[in-house]
Structure 1
């Protein structure tokens, strides 16, 4: 009997304690137009009937600000009655139907262009659907679909198809040759959100590669025509602890990419390629933002002109040129200071000063290649960013980079989105 009384007392005490806790009576979403309310509520850990937890709501707000559809978000809490409270989530939406227009010159100085259209909030459900067409002397196209929360808050799917053709230089015997390169691929990926900061993508890519000789140096051990069916297993792991305030970023992020490629041909063995990107962003004062990316990558060390890591203007070193070299290892550090020069309502003009450091391992070379002076490149420069705060990724960038190492080049690099 005493035990029964004790249990009753504990239950009554627990109920009394719980009844004094602050409870969420409702979660209201304000400001959305295209985005579906149920899509937003599905992403939140703050639910009707849960205990009111301001730290959890803060995490939910950060999660929302990472979405392409959200320009900015904040919350308010209002008392309803007794110990019940309403949580108001206020969202400023981005415009997410974005055209893609790029112009550049190819390796043979031909003017090339790329046109595309992407909706980063397709049907208002946090899905991405888009396609592009490219003309650089050859026709290319691609179609992409991504739904991170297709099955639940934690599980989604991505499907991609691409038919890509380009003229690319291959390097061997200290000389080069130009090839027409074609890649026809079909990819499916599972998307898994483990928790607030960690997510994984994994899947398979079936693709066909074709190489056809166009001009330049030839060698008996390098084919002038190659047609290969390949299979690629892909794993991407992301740790994301970034916080956004419009175009300002603060925090740390790490992305690991691992790929295992299998094929059956006499010129390319099965190989592994992996790299990791470490990002660090720091707000400095009201208008400054220090941004860093460190990329370290290695692949199977095959002595082949088809090495996976490219030295290129648009990927790693601003000012170096277009596809000027390849390697089986890469270490690159990009660092820049971004400063808001002008801001008025939706428009931001941002200036930046940058330095890009890079080093490569030659195909078939040693790890000591990384600190050989002939493999180290350093570029520095300045740039401008024209930013629309109400359109997702609406950043037009232009940078001028010049080399600080021996026999270096210089040049202008422009594109859509921040460089990293």
Structure 2
């Protein structure tokens, strides 16, 4: 009897072990099948006509043969949207078999050869203009090449070439030469109306490095000659009529970019820090020697509903040569405060806040029209002053106004803007400002 019981227990255990092994085998096989990678067997890019396919593939994180990763695909779509030649981009996966998918990127191209014309008022209340032409997709690789000519009392011109991805997907180069000749108002403590002819000739070369999708660095050198020649006004005895300086400066830029673009709409945060540090100077007077000039733009954009966009910019600037009347930061219509006038003040440090709400009031196919309401506010440190000037607000300026934008959605940066600003408080003046591209 005991022998029969033992034999029955043995058979039950044996049967149980067989079932356990079989169950474990099925689970392992299932897990093995589930764990198999799903690969991208082919990448196709559609919609690009002028932009080279191999250039876009070189920029993309996802490569043929890599594992399907939705995060990296989304990063590629965002990367394409930030290119000057791309108005919009999307992606889709098409199944080839159980373990392979075809990845299709679809891009909508911008027209990237852009003529430009800005018309404004010069410091003599005459007509000033700037005409330019730039190709933002040179050689189909989103290189930028072009130049400008401007008439603002005197003649100026410049040439540019930038190839951010020339050497690798992360490393490129930029070169530019500018010959700017302007009539500059210079402001002294007793508010004398003094005007100089400023001639600035500069050659610059930079290396551009994209560390990752969000972080970019630029570093280079600027060789410049600046001359100031007295034109008119009540000049203080301590200030010479002619000044000049030759400078070699280390220049650079750091950009953190977490921006998403979709035609005229922008969403996200961006910070751009630019600097110039004088390595060597040889001139007549220390008044022109700015040993360090730094500026940081903090930008924040937020989509509001389907047609709204809230845009903000905080601009901070500082220069170490804080005793010169030839200060680098100007209070100007086109730069920071809409409606204030054409170069009405200068400072060696500044804080400027621009905020506006943009709303699309008309959109049909390639065309869009936006209306906007804005507030521009700023404060300056006077030459010879201290950073406390920024807090005390002696030079504080606030303007508010309305504007309109006419946008061609298929042409890069084709935004014709008109803004009208009205001063609040001590700055009771007002003015109209227009140009090409969003104000910021």
TM-score range, shorter chain: over 0.9
Q: Contact 2:398–2:427 at 8 Å: present in 1 too?
A: no
1:267 — aligned with what?
A: 286
Aligned-CA RMSD value: 1.5
1:279 — aligned with what?
A: 299
2:346 — aligned with what?
A: 326
Cα separation, 2, equivalents of 1:140 and 1:341? 38
Gaps of 5+ in 2: 1-27
1:159 — aligned with what?
A: 175
Aligned residue pair count: 408
- Normalised to the residue count of structure 2, the TM-score between the two structures is 0.90
Question: Do the aligned partners of residues 312 and 270 (structure 1) sit closer, same or farther apart at CA in structure 2, a change above 3 Å counting?
Answer: closer
Q: Contact 2:290–2:321 at 8 Å: present in 1 too?
A: no
Instruction: Say whether 1:142 aligns with 2:158.
Output: yes
Q: Contact 1:312–1:321 at 8 Å: present in 2 too?
A: yes
Q: Tell me the CA shift for residue 82 of structure 1.
A: 2.7
**Greater Cα radius of gyration, structure 1 or 2:** 2
Q: Contact 1:288–1:337 at 8 Å: present in 2 too?
A: yes
Instruction: Say whether 1:82 aligns with 2:98.
Output: yes
Q: Tell me the CA shift for residue 344 of structure 1.
A: 0.4
Cα separation, 1, equivalents of 2:334 and 2:175? 25
1:396 — aligned with what?
A: 416
Q: Contact 2:397–2:427 at 8 Å: present in 1 too?
A: no
Cα separation, 2, equivalents of 1:129 and 1:192? 19
1:382 — aligned with what?
A: 402
2:243 — aligned with what?
A: 226
Cα separation, 1, equivalents of 2:349 and 2:222? 23
Q: Contact 2:265–2:303 at 8 Å: present in 1 too?
A: yes
After superposition, the C-alpha distances for 1:66-118 in whole angstroms (9 at most, x for unaligned) are 00000000001000123000000000000000001111111011212211110
SS at match of 1:264: strand
1:295 — aligned with what?
A: 315
Match of 1:347 among 361, 367, 391: 367
- Which stretch shifts more, 315-324 or 16-25? 16-25
Instruction: Say whether 1:217 aligns with 2:224.
Output: no
1:405 — aligned with what?
A: 425
- Normalised to the residue count of structure 1, the TM-score between the two structures is 0.94
Match of 1:200 among 217, 221, 243: 217
After superposition, the C-alpha distances for 1:121-159 in whole angstroms (9 at most, x for unaligned) are 001111000011112232211000000000000000000
Cα separation, 1, equivalents of 2:358 and 2:290? 42
1:305 — aligned with what?
A: 325
Q: Contact 1:19–1:83 at 8 Å: present in 2 too?
A: no
